Amino acid sequence: MGRKWNNIKEKKASKDANTSKVYAKFGVEIYVAAKKGEPDPESNRALKVVLERAKTYNVPKAIIDRALEKAKGAGDENYVELRYEGFGPSGSMVVVDALTNNVNRTAPLVRSAFAKNGGNMGVSGSVTYMFDPTAVIGLEGKSADEVMELLIEADIDVRDVLEEEEAVIVYAEPDQFHAVQEVLRGAGVTDFTVAELTLLPQNYVSLDGDAAVQFEKLIDALEDLDDVQQVYHNVDSEE
């Protein structure tokens, strides 16, 4: 699939290790998901997805509880979900998902991050058609063959099951996210190393030299923005 999911997550966790930024972003995401429906993950599938992902990033329970309580109580902040698309160095493609309570603030910041790092914003639809929504679920303690057998027995059709860096990664349709996890939990899996609803590029590009350095700066600049929740791209990250 072109990405080493555990390596990517570890790199991001390392970058955020000395800040509370990643936890603050999860707080907003949990609050927004909880406000969309009931603040109960068993009846709110969007919230359940966010909470599963938060676990893989070791988000403190206090952060999660505070966001849920805010959604249950007097929290009246209104956030808008936005998606920006653009191009980075050497034909790279980038999709940015944001949650913001100030649309007029977010767009210029995202545009500036692109412009200052060798990229440019595109119009809606200019990039996303080259990406596929995908559920990515990672686990340890079982082989890819064991996982595939479990999913086949449960009549769950997935795109692929691969062994990556001592972990098994399942790639599935987004609507199979919870079903895959339930099958694996039934087989004794208690923790997941990855639990993402993401966008995967249909084709990857490789960058080197100055282009690779500039691209890394672009992604860092985008991810450092408080309103940005997720950044997806088509650059091969297997290094």
The answer to whether residues 174 and 223 belong to one domain is no
Instruction: Report the sign of the C-alpha dihedral through residues 49, 107, 203, 116, in that order.
Output: negative
Same domain, 176 and 223: no
- Tell me, yes or no, whether 67 and 31 share the same domain: yes
Instruction: Say whether both 155 and 59 belong to one domain.
Output: no
- Residues with Cβ within 8 Å of residue 192, at least 6 apart in sequence: 52, 55, 56, 137, 138, 139, 181, 184
Q: Which domain, by its residues, includes 143?
A: 131-201
* CATH number, domain with residue 67: 1.10.10.200
Which DSSP helix (H) or strand (E) runs through 87?
A: strand 80-87
Per-residue pLDDT in tens (0 to 9) along the chain, 239 residues: 556 665 555 555 555 554 578 899 999 999 999 998 888 898 999 999 999 999 998 899 999 999 999 988 866 788 999 999 999 998 899 999 999 999 999 999 999 999 999 999 999 999 999 999 999 999 999 999 999 999 999 999 999 999 987 889 999 999 999 999 999 999 999 999 999 999 999 999 999 999 999 999 999 999 999 999 999 999 986 54
**Looking at the structure, do residues 11 and 49 belong to the same domain, yes or no?**
yes
Measured distance CA(143)–CA(89) in Å, rounded: 38
Residues 17 and 44 in one domain: yes
Per-residue pLDDT at 13? 58
Asked whether residue 239 is domain-assigned, the answer is no
- If asked whether residues 193 and 218 sit together in one domain, one would say no
User: Do both 196 and 218 map to the same domain?
Assistant: no
d(CA 198, CA 233): 11
Residue 136 is assigned to a structural domain of this protein: yes
Count of domains forming the chain: 3
Q: What is the pLDDT of residue 17?
A: 53
pLDDT the model gives residue 76: 77
- b/e for 96-108, b at 16 or more Cβ within 10 A? bbbbbeeeeebbe
Lookup: tokens for 2? 């072109």
187 located within any domain: yes
Predicted pLDDT at 91: 85
State whether 103 and 148 are in the same domain: no
Q: In what order do the strands lie in the sheet with 160-164?
A: 160-164, 167-172, 131-139, 194-201
187, 208: one domain: no
120 and 181 together in one domain: no
